[in-house]
Amino acid sequence: MSSLQALFVIAAVGYIIGSITVGEMQLGASGVLLVALFFGHIGYELPPIIRDLGLVLFIVSVGLTSGPSFFRNLKRNALSYGVIAATIIVSATILAVALRTVFGIPRELATGIFTGALTTTPGLAAALAVTGDHTVSVGYGIAYPFGVIGKVLLIQVLPLLVGKDLKEEAAKHTSKKLFADQSSLIVQEFIVDNPEADRRTLAELDVASRTGAVVSRVMRGKHIVAALGDTILLHGDYVRAVGTKEALERLSELIGPTVKLSMDEPGLEVRDLVVESKEASGAKLRELDIYEKYGVILTRVMRTGIEFTPSGETVLEMKDIVRAVGPRFALDRFEEFLGIQRRILGNTGLVPLSLVISLGILVGRVQMPVPGSGSVSLGLTGGPLLVSLIVGHVGSVGPWSLRPSGQFLGNIREFGLMLFLAGAGVSAGHGLVPTVAEYGWKLFFMGAFITLIPMLLGFLVAHKGFKLAFIDTMGCICGGTTSTPALGALITAAGTDEAATAYAAIYPFAMVLVVIASCVLATV
């Protein structure tokens, strides 16, 4: 088959394999890498431009998404989250250097083992951009499977080793519920059928804290109203709610079964608005009295690619996207409060994306003198990453927004990742079998050590050093190793999404540090 056809066959088969669930684990997009390694082994080739295009698309989408939270967290949490992330990444780097020296493993292969053990695709991309050696991808492919499985197992075993019950610890940690699972929130309608809910207000039922869902509308007969704390539910009422699958299941147990009907009302509108004003940023929702002042209800918040249902304790941050429900005149007033709503330059998001990529590649080519060592450049990874982080943080110029929508960036990130993994995997597949045959068990041993030891060190620093709550500590070691599968396993084991707060806070630190570490390992 042609190279173009092979690319999409690799993608299709890879995503099918990646969607297979074993317990709570999935390979996800990394299934594309495994299939690409096989195609490379049997002789297929893909043009290098496919890998490079995927690399810049992936890196820029990550930078634009993480930019606001990265610089904000750098200012607010450098001492705690920054140190924890540095502990994990620096210890993994030191281990990689020590083990490659002891076992006599080539630098490029050891760097690939490092990125695979930490399951960091940005790190792999950075190392490949620096070395241009496909052996890096071979190492990544060897270490990645245990990198996923080992983290998930450790997340479940570690609480037992220290005598903690995750569900009990999560129950104690109820002060702030900022983030929900990274999967998209669901909108669902219910009929009030539970006698417990009949003739009681939403405040009396304590829906938000008991279920994690947000009720946005109530329909009685043909009349639809916005749901308030003092709204009384009656048997036979219909309600619309927003939340994760688990939250909506808990809501169904509380009020009644799900139904299929339309609850769209001409008098009510839904708008996604960006937090642009200093008055709104940094305040808790209960302090803003949004419904009392503006007559609208917030049903979800989107921050750095993560959607979550808001509560009274949720703190809005600059550049958050909030989904508001209410009458048109009320939404107009609320929009004025949030600040200037800027249009995306070019509407679709392709214009700012293209500009950032172009400027990032240009910055990456700039040669910076290093005394005694000639000069270095940021390359195809560092340049676009730096520019996209800055643009993501700044966010706008005049009336124009430079940040594409989260959905757009998510699609671009996934497409770029597919191109990159396919191109890198096919190139690496030619040397996979000879490499494993030459070094054998040493590669797997090295990968396992780099996966587990840094997580344990990060746990000690977070829990014993900074005295973080146990659930936050566990979220930190997931985010510090940039492991979404580990976070999923943690949320399932704890029965709550509280851990995602710490995960989202530390992730930008770890992502940037691991890119730097990968470049250092690949060159020193």
CA-CA distance, 185 to 165, in Å (whole number)? 28
| pLDDT confidence band for 175 (50 / 70 / 90) | very low
Among 27-31, 72-76, 182-186, name the one with the lowest average pLDDT.
182-186
CA-CA distance, 376 to 358, in Å (whole number)? 20
Residue 327: is it exposed, middle or buried by C-beta count within 10 angstroms (0-12/13-18/19+)? middle
Among 38-42, 85-89, 399-403, name the one with the lowest average pLDDT.
399-403
Residue appearing with tokens 């930078």: 63
Q: What is the bridge-based pairing of β-strands 238-243 and 186-191? A: antiparallel
| pLDDT confidence band for 98 (50 / 70 / 90) | very high
Is the CB of residue 455 less than 8 Å from the CB of residue 154?
Answer: yes
Is the CB of residue 447 less than 8 Å from the CB of residue 120?
Answer: no
CA-CA distance, 430 to 41, in Å (whole number)? 5
| pLDDT confidence band for 87 (50 / 70 / 90) | very high
Most confident of the ranges 19-23, 119-123, 263-267, 509-513:
509-513
Q: What is the pLDDT of residue 359?
A: 92
Kindly give, in sequence order, each residue whose CB lies less than 8 Å from that of residue 369, ignoring residues fewer than 6 positions away. 375
Domain boundaries, the chain: 3-171+377-523
| pLDDT confidence band for 25 (50 / 70 / 90) | low
CA-CA distance, 501 to 166, in Å (whole number)? 16
Residue predicted with more confidence, 55 or 6: 6
Per-residue tokens: 275: 């937090």
Is the CB of residue 243 less than 8 Å from the CB of residue 212?
Answer: yes
> What percentage of the chain carries pLDDT values higher than 70?
78
Residue 416: is it exposed, middle or buried by C-beta count within 10 angstroms (0-12/13-18/19+)? buried
Residue appearing with tokens 């417990």: 196
What is the mean pLDDT of the segment spanning 93-121?
Answer: 88
Residue 180: is it exposed, middle or buried by C-beta count within 10 angstroms (0-12/13-18/19+)? buried
In the CATH hierarchy, which top-level class contains the domain 3-171+377-523?
mainly alpha
CA-CA distance, 185 to 208, in Å (whole number)? 15
Most confident of the ranges 138-152, 264-278, 347-361:
347-361
Per-residue tokens: 216: 């946005």
Q: What is the pLDDT of residue 208?
A: 72
| pLDDT confidence band for 183 (50 / 70 / 90) | very low
Nearest alpha carbon to residue 384 among 53, 65, 56, 54:
56
CA-CA distance, 30 to 36, in Å (whole number)? 10
User: In angstroms, what CA-CA distances link 456 with 151, 459, 463?
Assistant: 10, 5, 11
Nearest alpha carbon to residue 475 among 249, 163, 169, 150:
169
Residue appearing with tokens 């599968």: 485
Residue predicted with more confidence, 141 or 374: 141
